[in-house]
Structure formats: C-alpha cells, structure tokens
Amino acid sequence: MIDYKESLKGSGMAKYYNPKNLKKDLPAGVVVFLVALPLCLGIALASGAPLFSGILSGIIGGIIVASFSGSQLSVSGPAAGLTVIVLTAITDLGSFNAFLLAIFIAGLLQIVLGVLEAGTIGNYFPNSVIIGMLAAIGIILILKQLPHAVGYDADYEGDQSFFQSDNENTLSAIGSAMSRFNMGAIIIAAVSMLILVLWPKVKKFAVVPAPLLVVAVGVLLANLFDGTSFSLLAGQMVQIPVVESLTDFKGLFVFPDFTQFANPKIWTVAVTIAIVASLETLLSLEAVDKIDPIKRVSPTNRELIAQGIGNTLAGLVGALPMTAVIVRSSANVNAGGRTKMSAIFHGIFLMLAVLLIPTLINQIPLSCLAAILLLVGYKLAKLSLFKKMWNDGKDQFIPFLVTVLAVVFTDLLMGVGIGLAVGIIFLLRTNYRNPYFYSVDQSKGDNIIRIKLAQEVSFLNKGTIQYTLTNILRDKTVIIDGTESLFIDKDVLTTIFDFEEHAHTKKIKVELVNIRQNYELPKLKDLIIKTQKENA
C-alpha cells in the first residue's frame, strides 16, 4: 500500500506514465475490456440500436470521457439504466438518426450542468445508501450471471432490472436456467472460477492477469467441445460485428438528423437522458470513490462536463448515450487499476478488437466472462460488509438494507431513490434534535488551519467539510477539533479519517482533537444539562 501511495504522489501527467502504475493499469484495462465487451453488445441489443453503437459508446467512454474526467478509477460506457429510455425514444422519434440528435443535445445540457456546478448534488448521497447500492449491484451480478454461467443466455448482458424484457424476473430466470443448462458452459464457468481464485495465489505467475488466462482457457475448451455433446451454441459466445474492409468500417457509423432540431419530442428525450445519465453518473462516481483503496475524491462537476463531451460526440457518430458505470468501475478497482489510464486502455482494446480480431473475440464463451463478473459481485457483496453496517448502528444499517433490497427488486435509480428517502428520514430525525454549524479558524497563522466542529455535525455538513479539506493547500497543519461535539455523523467521520490517512500526499499534517471513532445520537436531556452548565 505504501508503494501504491508513493506512485500516485505529484501532480500533472507524470503519474500516468509511471511504470509502477502502468504495470497495474494495463492488466486492469484488459480485465475491464473483457467485462465491458459483452455488456456493450447486450445493452445495444436491448436498446433496439445497432450493435456497433454499444461498442462505440464504450470506446468513447474509455478514451474520451476518461481523458477529460477527474476520476482515476471510474469507467464510462452504455448504461443498462438507459435501455428503456433509448428503446422507447427510438420508437417514438421514428429513427435512430433522430435519436442521435437527442443524445447530442443531452451532451450539451450535461456540459451546461457541469459549468453551473450541479454536480455538487453528488456530495449529498449518504454513505449508507451508496454502500447499499454497491452491495446490491454485487448481488445482482451474482443472480444475473448465474444463468449465463450455465449456458442460459435468454436475458441480455448488462440487465440490472428485476423484471426482465423476456417476461421473466431475476429469480425465475435462475429457475429456468436450471432446466436449460449446457454442460459445456458449466464446465467452462467452473474452470474459470478455479483459475480466478487460485491463479493469483501463485506469485511467480501473477504477471499474467487471471481474467486473461480465463478467456484463453475458455476459448480453448469451447473449441475442444465443438462437435461433442458439450458443444456451445452461437448465442453462448460473444458476438461483435466483423469488419472486413474500410467500407464496412465506415458503414458502421450513423449520423444525427439535424433537420429534427425544432421537434419538441427531441428536446424531451434530450432532457430526460441528460438528467438520468447525470444522476447515474454521480451515483457511480460516489460509489467508486468509496471502493478506491486510497479514497480519492473525484470532482463531480468536471465529471458532468466530461460525460457531456462524451455524449455530444456519441450523438455525432452513432453511439449509445453513456454514463459512468459501477460494474465496469468495480471491475477496474478489483483488477488493481490505479489511474485513468486503465479506462483509456480498455477503450483502446475495444477499438482494436473490432478492427483487428473480431473473429477471435467471437470465440469467447459468455460463461467464462460470467465467472469474472461473479467474482466481482462477490467482492462487492461480502457478508462482512453487512456485519460492518450492522455494527455501525441502525441509522446506517436500515437505509443500507432498504437500498440493497430496493435496488435488487426494482432497478438502480428507483432503488437508490427509495433508499435515499429512508436515509433522509433518519437524517431529519437527527437534525430535528440538534442544530449544527462548523467554523474555520486561521487566526494562528497562514500555515495552521483550525476547524472547530459544532455540537451536532450531521450528514448535511459532509459536502462542505469535504470541499474544505480537499481544497486545503500543501504544507499546512490542520487541527480538527471535536471538543464541543456531542454527535458527529458516520459519513463525516469517514471523510475526516480518510483525510487524516492520506493528507501526507500533500505534505499536510493533521491533528485530531477529541474526535472519537463512533458517536451515539445525544438525548435531549443531555443537551439541556450541557446548555444549563454553559449558561451557569
């Protein structure tokens, strides 16, 4: 971990070309590429759009959005949460070309939102809800990928909704898969899981990423099974468009119909995409910051601008709308990605796969890719996470559990909305009892900053405190004083402790005064007694 922190010190472009980082970012880019490839195709298929539009969205999200983004680990591409919107919009607007104009306008609107600093809303998602969303995504990955792992590929790759487009739901699809399995797919998935678990433990072979070996073994087994009772069907393999000439490649691009610019339906779709894509991006960004090993804080407004640039370009060349996507981002973190170069590499690999080796890519079994996603899901939804949230108290555990259940049994945005509503109830309960404020005192010199916390520091203080700590200049001494605090919210404590742990990268010395690891919500009686003593 020390080497990790040291390699990320400094500013500018140097860290992106640091050999220590590239050694991690390149293999992580391969893993994200393998995860993203079927997801891009599946989401395009479910959206009623050309398959290449999904791949192109992944390419733009990887190369363009990552280049402009301030996030180091977030990965962008076509999102499952937009499939219903896209499918309906293409039908209502009458053509994919008209829909591309709506994407173009949505991208411009996102840039405006970023300039207006609308991204600050991302600071106000409670930790319990974000962690619940991550755990729910992990559970969804496990439930959704089990059918793919046994060769039942009726549902499209990347679907995260409980109710599926094939008239089944997440649970019934597993039941159907048990009676329609393919033994060859099961063997490939089982071998893949063994490799993923055991290969990293053999240190001398660790230079070869386990997921890459999984794909190689999967292709080998699929070819060995060909012509036997274990043979895989065409639908159980990755299927990307095969480009045989420059003319074929040019024909894959589609352009917007600017003659529809005055069509009010275009603007309605554009506003819808801009809002939904921005919300999903902010949720994913907050989530990936939570699983970042060194807890970097991504600039939300810059991210909206980066997403806007990506979607503007997507509308111009025929790609699906994109967001920051937690599945790809989680795979990136789990694969050891360190900087945004891993996302850029994944975009480059997507482009090369279409141009150079489409035939080879189409030999990859979906069951071996399912194994990779199953492991990602397990890491996101470990039992220890539920135990930790339980130990953090009911004000954390209940919104967390509600979010998990709501996301699993509805979809991402609706589930987070339900969890957020429950979180707000607990938040209002906290703030009803005690008012709050905080102050920054620089009276003891330019190099000493004193932050004196109030009696009650709620989650609503998180955004302001995080902004203050993030923007403290180098070579300062920061004293965070909690002497007067009867209660400090868990989210704020996490922000403070993360700042204390990583402040040395900016040569900042941190002193915490009377700040405990946990606080119980103070009773009204205790507040009255304290107030009477202060007024005596």
Q: Which residue has the higher pLDDT, 369 or 6?
A: 369
Asked if residue 1 has pLDDT above 60, the reply is no
Residue type, 252: L
Strand, helix or coil for residue 488: strand
For every residue of 389-453, DSSP letters joined together read HHHT-HHHHHHHHHHHHHHHHS-HHHHHHHHHHHHHHHHHHHHHH----EEEE-TT-TTEEEEEE
**Percent of the chain scoring above 90 in pLDDT:** 66
Name the more confident of 346 and 246.
346
How far is the C-alpha of 280 from the C-alpha of 284, rounded, in Å?
6
Read off the pLDDT of each residue in 465-490 and give the average, rounded to a whole number: 87
Gyration radius of the chain over CA positions: 24
Instruction: Tell me what percent of the residues of the chain surpass a pLDDT of 70.
Output: 91
Encoded tokens for 277: 């894509």
Residue 31 and residue 39 in contact, taking contact as beta carbons nearer than 8 Å: no
Alpha-helical (H) ranges within 19-126 are: 19-46, 51-60, 66-68, 83-93, 96-115
pLDDT band at 438 (very low <50, low <70, confident <90, very high): low
Band (92; pLDDT cuts 50, 70, 90): very high
Side-chain half-sphere CA neighbours of 59 within 13 A: 19
Query: Mean pLDDT, the chain, as a whole number?
Result: 89
pLDDT digits (tens, 9 = 90+) for 338-384: 999 999 999 999 999 999 999 999 999 999 999 999 999 999 999 99
SS (H, E, C) 160-218: CCCECCCCCEHHHHHHHHHHCCCHHHHHHHHHHHHHHHHHHHCHHHCCCCHHHHHHHHH
| Digit-coded pLDDT (tens) for 222-241 | 999 999 999 999 889 999 88
pLDDT bracket for residue 427 (50, 70, 90): confident
Domain ranges of the chain: 2-374, 438-535
Region 420-428: what's the mean pLDDT? 85
Mean pLDDT for 277-281 is 96
| pLDDT in the model for residue 391 | 92
Tokens representing 61 are 């999200």
SS3 479: strand
172: which 2 tokens? 């019934």
pLDDT band for 431, please (50, 70, 90 cuts): low
pLDDT over threshold 80, residue 221: yes
438-535 adopts what CATH topology?
Transcription Regulator spoIIAA (3.30.750)
**CB of 423 within 8 A of CB of 91?**
no
Query: Which region among 94-98, 287-291, 464-468 has the lowest average model confidence (pLDDT)?
Result: 464-468
